[in-house]
Structure formats: C-alpha cells, structure tokens
Structure 1
C-alpha cells in the first residue's frame, strides 16, 4: 500500500493519483473565488494588460497564495498536487491571473524554499505567502531561449557579493515585480554551456536595474525586457551558484506540471462553455447537443482532459513536496499543452460562426491555450528529453 505524500494516508494503486478530500476542498474554494471575482474581469485584464493585483490579494487573504510556502514560513506547506489543483481552477476562468500566480504557486517559491539561504527564506517566503512580494524568473535572453548554455548575463565576484551585467527578454510581471530569480553565469570566464550557470536573487529597486516597456501577448499577459548594468547583489542573494543550474532543472520539472495544469484548466473552462452552448443553441428544432457529431466532439474533449489531468496528477503526486521527475513532467506537459489546443479548437467549432466573435468566450480559450507549448520547455525540446529518458533505466511510476 502506498502512502500519500500530502496526508500520510494509505492509497491503493487505483486511487493513488486522485485528490484527497483536503485537495478537493482547496479546489472548491479556489473555484468559488475565481468564478465570483476572476471570470467577470478576465477580459478587462487582457485588454488593458494590467497586472491583476486584486486577484492575488484575494488568494493571499484566503490562504491559497501561500500553498507552496512551507508552514514554518507562513504558508500551508502544500505539495505540487495542491498547487496543480489551484492553478487548474484559476486557469479555467482567467489566463492572466493564472500566469500572475504561477511563480508564487510554483517554481519561484519552491526554489527559494529548497535552495535559498536561511536569511533569504526568512525574508522572502512569509511575504510571498501574504501576497506582499511578486516574484519573476528571468532566464530567456534575446539570443537564447531553450539553449540556456548560450546566455551571456554574468555575475562577477566583488567584495561582499557580485556585480551583474546582462539582459533578459520576454519576461513576465516585470512591471510589478519585487524580486527576480536571474539566471546568470558566475565568474569572469568566457565559457559556454551550463557548468558556470546558476541563479541569483535580484531586488527590483537595486541601482542598475532597468525594465523596458512591455509587449502585449495573444493571451493578454504582458512581457518585458530587463537590462542589468553593474548591479550589485550581496552574497546571501545567491540561490544556486556556478553549476547550480542542474539543481534548478528539478524545480523546472515542477514548473512544467504547473504550466500543464493551467492548460487543463483552460480546456476544462472551454468544455464547460461548449456544454452550455450546445444545450442553449437550437437548430432544426432541437438543441445542437442532440446531434451525434457534436456529442462526440464533446466526448473527445472530456476524454483528452481526463487523460491530461491523470498525467499531471501522476507527475505532481510522485513529486510530493520535492520536485517531479523529468520524464513524468515532460510527458504530462507535452500532452496537456497539445490537448488544450485541440479541445479549444473543437469548442470554437461547436460555437460555430459565433465562436469567431470576440464577445463570446470560445476564441479567448483558444488564444489562452496557445501559450502552454511556448513556455517552460517546448514540446519539441521535451520530446527529445523523453526519448533520452527512454534509453535510461527509470523506476516505475505506475
């Protein structure tokens, strides 16, 4: 008999990837907040590009934003599966808010908790749980995306810490960010690869930090560029030093599961809208939900959503409160990202000509779904990693 990493209760093989009563309650509380407060204003956040700070405040006040923060630092000490059920419910109603909460519920909070100094954890984690600190992770550069080994941002050691110079591109939340987890090279060498790559925490208000005007995205979230010019940070701000990128890869496995959870939420929201539309819309004297062709489209959507959810829950469950493994996370993310595009495309078709209109939800779900495969590892990159893992002996996960 297997034991749940969340509650310590015994689980059979049949239900080991299911959610506990506490997690179902967490999902229900999140859904209630999201439906009442996030859904009515989701189009507003898209059109204005504003950061949905009131939504994060609501989640913080409800004790949900601190799900990923350990209990000793003011959070609820939840597992990756706890974060997954929360992000699915937010993604179901508002893409911009889901992306705004991804860091607090995912890799930023958990990386600080896992790798940060005692001083960093004591300073940042309680404020993250209270919604007082917005975190951003800064990896992508103008000439490097998936190829982290080609980044040029560099932290040079000086008395008491480091001075960082470089730039980042396509970074979310920089208009409101308080701290940034910056991927950088350490030292003065001119090497390539990740042997000297790590992460360092940079406060937004440090001299030499400059944020550019943002770009509006297809989903409504805004992305920014970051310039770092001789920015001093103290030694305590090092999250993982030279060569520590390999540690962060494990954290990124969790981020991939969270990205996939948002994709599932988007698909589920689209399916819910399609079910209502198919019941209300009548053609040839009866609801279009009575036509077999449309019923089968709805059924295919449900099948794929359930499959994606099971894969994400498996990966998150196996990760517990540590980090999911590379194979589970990659399989879950690739399937969920691509599933979400298929489902939202079907849903737009079910809406018919009205699906092409901006004032009905179908086209918005399709736009929201497109980001999943662009962030956190592309399906192409992850498929290559999955194939690599196939040639290694891995422990059974099911």
Structure 2
C-alpha cells in the first residue's frame, strides 16, 4: 500500500469507524429500498470533517490534498456507495469546478454551503442524444439582461431530485459543439425545472437518477459558472472526478477481496478449507494483483495532483484500470463464493452490479481508451471525422 502519513492513517481510521458503525449495517436496506442518504448523515460527515476535505479552508473545507479525500471516500464506499456519495460530490465532483473556475463571489456564496453539508451539487451533462459526445448537448442558455434562460432535457443525472443544486452543462450558442459550451448552476426549486421518475437501475441504488426538464428556467447571470467556450476548463475538471470514480471502484474491489479471503478460509469442502485448493488460490491471487495495481495507479495520480488537478493521462489510466478491476474482481468473488455469491445476503452481487455503473459513469472505458491514446501520443482524434469516412 502507498505509504500514508500519521495524519492520513488517523483520517482513514475515523472514516472506517464511521462506515462500520453507521453505514455498513444499512447498505442492504439502502440498496433494496433505493433509499437516499438522509440529510442528517451528510451533516454528520461535515461535522466530522470528512465531507469537503479538498475545498479550501477559507470556504469551510479541509484544505487537504486530493489523496486525503480519496482515503475517506474508499473507506465509506467499502460500506456503501450511498454513504460515500456526498463526499464524492463535495471533494471530487461539481463543487471542485466552482472552486477551480468560479469567481470569488461564487466561491464565497456557494462553497461554505457545500462544506457544511447544507447543500449538495450534482452534475448534469448527458442528454437523450448527447452521452459520450457531451459537446452535442442541445440544452440552450440565452442571456436576457441580468438573467439566463434555460431550455432543454438532461438525462442520467445522478442525484436528480435529491440534490439542492445542479451544475448544468449548456450551449450558449450560436456556435455548436465545444465553442458554445459552458456551465450554469440551477437550484432544485427553480421555476420551470421538473424531474422525471426515478430510474430503476442495475446498480447505484439509493443514489438516484432521473431526467431533468428545463422549460424557460431563469437564473441570475451570477450563477453562470463557466462562460461559452469554456468546455476545456470543464473537461480538465473531469480528471478530479475520474479519480473519485476510480476510488469508488477500488472500494468495490478491496471489499470483494476482503470478504472472499475470509470466506475461502471458513468454507470447507471435501474435508478441508477451500483455500487449500489451487484453483481457489489462483483466483484469489488474481484479485490481489488487480486491486493492488489499481490502488497504485490511483495513488500516483493523486500524489502528483497534490491540491490541484490530476494529469489527464494518469487520471484516465487509473479510471480505466480500476473500473475493469472492479468488474473482474467482483465477478471472481461471486465465483469463489459459489451459490452464496449469487445471494443478496453476502452482498458481492450488489458490488458487481455497482461496478458496472462506475465503469459507465464519468466516461466509459471506450472513451477512456481514446483519451489515453490521445494524451500519450500528444494528438487529438475526432470521432466525427472517422465516422464520416
């Protein structure tokens, strides 16, 4: 494991204790009932100093390096992704976009609300016809005096209907594509904003996902976070979120490994522990190698980022490997648990379902491969040109 400082070990121990006592006992309940984390728990995390570790101290955050937030995120996610979600959003998600690219007035007005646990900001990028091709977004933003008028439909917004605010990616026009793209902040109660029914997803249960419909929604110009043409800034912020995503996958892999290691030493067949069978040992060894490799890739990217933004190549590499690892390791865990792995009681089936969700969120494996090749070669590749040939 990457060496931790004494302070980081204390932080890890605190997060692990809270996760074990408060959240692990409720993980199956949240998954089965698709229940969202109560606001009181979000405030508990804030009071413990675990919520907004990477936000600057002057705005109520911890002022800590990205690595510290990932340490906490992993421990909470080992218990339940629902418990870790507020930390994901505050320390690696949309709040970081405001911290990095917002005005000083916006940071002073918005970030303390996030750091205190009173507000969660969700990100809204995808649309019915704009998924991986985010710059195809057709949700429009028209400046009308001191207001911005928004119209469009957003899809797959995690936290939709539950989060108090939304960082919405919009097109200011008249240019299409990246040249017109920017981002605005929209309140949940803004007139004209409505939500579709909650999606019934394979995993991610308890986090929430729904469509967002914006019909002549008016927001003050002070809530424009990134002006048109700022898509490159927004894309840079993806690297922070991708490390958060990779860490959620790491938590799945580590938990699946830990539970499997216990199980194969307790389960007996043919008069001995199944851990004594070579095929079981080989499967467990593969799990160990993949989890450790993912941990090191994430740690490298986070350590090099410090309190800033990770390198795109390192973040995408870590996300791609960690996402694949979580799917493969959780699948091996199901196999080594035998019939019990297919049962909800042992929870490894839940981990496998969630693993597929993290691979899709924040840029699919296919898109990460394109990004990795582009960064490594120092070249840009247009998928549209390839499709047209």
Q: Paired residue for 1:194? A: 178
Asked if the contact 1:183/1:198 (under 8 Å) is kept, the reply is yes
Q: Is 2:253 the counterpart of 1:267? A: yes
Q: Distance in 2 between matches of 1:33 and 1:218?
A: 27
Q: Whole-Å Cα distance in 2 between the matches of residues 107 and 362 of structure 1?
A: 26
Residue of structure 1 equivalent to 2:104: 118
Are positions 1:384 and 2:370 aligned together?
yes
Aligned residue number for residue 40 of structure 1: 25
Query: Deviations for 1:187-231, whole angstroms, at most 9, x for unmatched residues?
Result: 4x2x32111101111111111111111112212132111011111
What's 2:59 paired with? 73
Give 1:288's aligned residue: 274
State the TM-score, normalizing by the size of structure 1: 0.91
1:93, 1:266 within 8 Å by CA — same for their partners in 2? no
- Equivalent pair of 1:139/1:168 in contact (CA under 8 Å): yes
Displacement of 1:296: 2.3
Residue 229 of structure 1: aligned partner: 215
Q: Which residue of 1 aligns with 2:383?
A: none
* Aligned with 1:156 (options 131, 139, 142): 142
Q: CA RMSD in A?
A: 1.5
Whether the aligned pair in 1 keeps the contact of 2:69 and 2:91 (CA below 8 Å) is yes
The unaligned stretches of length 5 or more in structure 1 are: 1-14, 394-398
Matches of 1:101 and 1:198 in 2, distance apart? Answer: 25
Q: CA deviation at 1:143?
A: 0.8
Matched, 1:181 2:167: yes
- Match of residue 313 from structure 1: 299
CA distance in 1, matches of 2:292, 2:22: 26
State the alpha-carbon separation in 2 of the partners of residues 40 and 88 from structure 1: 17
Shift of 1:361: 1.7
Match of 1:4 in 2: none
If the length of structure 2 is used for normalisation, what is the TM-score?
A: 0.93
Does the Cα contact within 8 Å between 2:52 and 2:87 map onto a contact in 1? Answer: no
5+ residue gaps, structure 2, are 380-389
Match of 1:29 in 2: 14
Match of 1:352 in 2: 338
Length, aligned pairs only: 376
Do 2:50 and 2:87's aligned partners in 1 also have CA atoms closer than 8 Å?
no
